[in-house]
Amino acid sequence: MYLRTEDGRQVASVEAPRFIQVAGEATRLLAPAVETQLPLWWTEVRASTAVPEAQRLAASIAGRLAALLDGVTWPSEAAAHTEVVTLPAAGTHPSPGDGDGVLAEADVLTDQSAVILYDIPVLAVTTWLTELLRTPEQTGRHLYLVTPSTARLTLAARTVLDRAAARWVIRDPEAGYYDGLSGMVLSWRDGHFTPVTDPSPTVAEAFRPPAGGAVGERQLLLSLRTIHPADEHLLLGGALECAWQTLTGEPPAVWSTAEPVNVPWSRRQLTDLARTRARCGTPTWLVAIGSPGQPGIATQQVQHTRLGVEEHITLAFGYTADRPAPLDRLPHLAEELAAHHNLATMVTEVRAARADLTVPAHYEPPALPVSLTLGPDAVADFGLNRANAALPDAPPLRLGSKARPALYYQLGDGDEPVAWRRLQALMRCLDSPA
């Protein structure tokens, strides 16, 4: 819902409320100190910078909602109140740009870019951000999300930003501006951010990892693709559920098409949504999380291709130093996915990174490959003999039937840099002409 002045300028927006039923979601996206009772309703109020009174109006809306519904506002130190706010008369302040909807909330709007200033601990894929990420395609503008250096991304937000014409920009008091994912120093020129390349590309000093960071913390990362025949009895989400169950002992807790994640896990509802969107030629993107006891998050995209119905899944679990990642379960998982969930390929990796699965605005080492699995159809396409001999020093493990096996290649244990060479050699062999 958008609130506007008499002459149509956007002042504030209120997101549709989301019914949260899983413990820990408010803590995951806001701050460890946030304590709430379940279930709860979550909504967000945003002020436009076009009108000076907008911030007080947004604070009044939030304060009134909290007072009427016995709720709380975040941040707690924000000046939420219940006072009446009078907006200026029509024409008192000029409009900053030509946008409407979420684009009208841009803090800086030029012919080339839309800049949004965030001051939140965790940048998540909310419905508002999902709409905002359509800006480049709809207007030709590049999107910049500007945050302080203390902000972090959810892995879902990182996945979405990797595909969008958008940049995460860090505003540092000493370093100025830099790219939150690469550390490249940026400057504002001619209506957009551009990398500083004179005399050479520069990485911000603030991008260096802090001393004594996430010591001993690891992430187990899985990237898998399934291909199903398109028939009326297909039930999606089985591969994701199988992976979650195998590695944690329980299925995903909730899923949604945005964060905060709020719909109890249901393969049937997921499939119904994907079918509805497929009739309009639209792929389905979703995010799932697990229980707070074992940090886990996944994104999944479902789309129809000439091969059938494809699921592209990225899945991450976080582990502290006293809880190692269950790498010994990966061969069993690969066999289950190949036998029962139409696995095409799966790559698993381990990286030294935060166990809470958020992405900080500083350098983190790249992930190291652990294994690669080829499903039965992929093995048949390459040829069994060729695929079996692709890595002479580490023969693959055969999974499933003798007639149509899947192959599991062990590349490393998550600590061996040589695993990259094994993966590259394997891919060169498989990609070479037969």
Query: For 117-237, where are the alpha helices, taking DSSP H only?
Result: 127-132, 135-139, 155-163
Nearest Cα neighbor of 243 from 324, 158, 343, 159 is 343
pTM of the model: 0.90
d(CA 90, CA 76): 33
Residue 366 near residue 351 (C-beta atoms within 8 A):
yes
pLDDT at 75: 76
**Strands across the sheet containing 113-117:** 108-109, 113-117, 142-148, 166-172, 176-179, 185-189, 192-195
pLDDT at 393: 82
pLDDT at 96: 46
Tell me, what DSSP letter sits at residue 289? E
Q: Where does 149-250 show beta strands of DSSP type E?
A: 152-154, 166-172, 176-179, 185-189, 192-195, 218-228
pLDDT one digit per residue (tens) for the chain, 434 residues: 777 777 777 788 888 889 988 878 888 888 665 666 788 899 988 887 767 788 888 889 889 998 998 888 887 666 788 888 887 665 544 444 444 556 666 788 888 898 998 888 899 999 888 888 887 778 888 999 999 999 999 999 999 998 888 999 999 888 799 999 999 999 999 899 999 987 777 899 999 988 766 678 999 999 999 999 998 899 999 999 999 999 999 999 999 999 999 999 999 999 999 999 999 989 999 999 998 788 899 999 999 999 999 999 999 999 999 999 999 999 999 999 999 999 999 999 999 999 999 999 999 999 999 999 999 999 999 999 999 988 888 899 999 988 899 999 999 999 988 999 999 989 888 887 76
Output the CA–CA distances (angstroms, integers) from residue 118 to 121, 162, 292, in the order listed. 9, 19, 26
Amino acid occupying residue 209: P
Rg (CA), the chain: 24
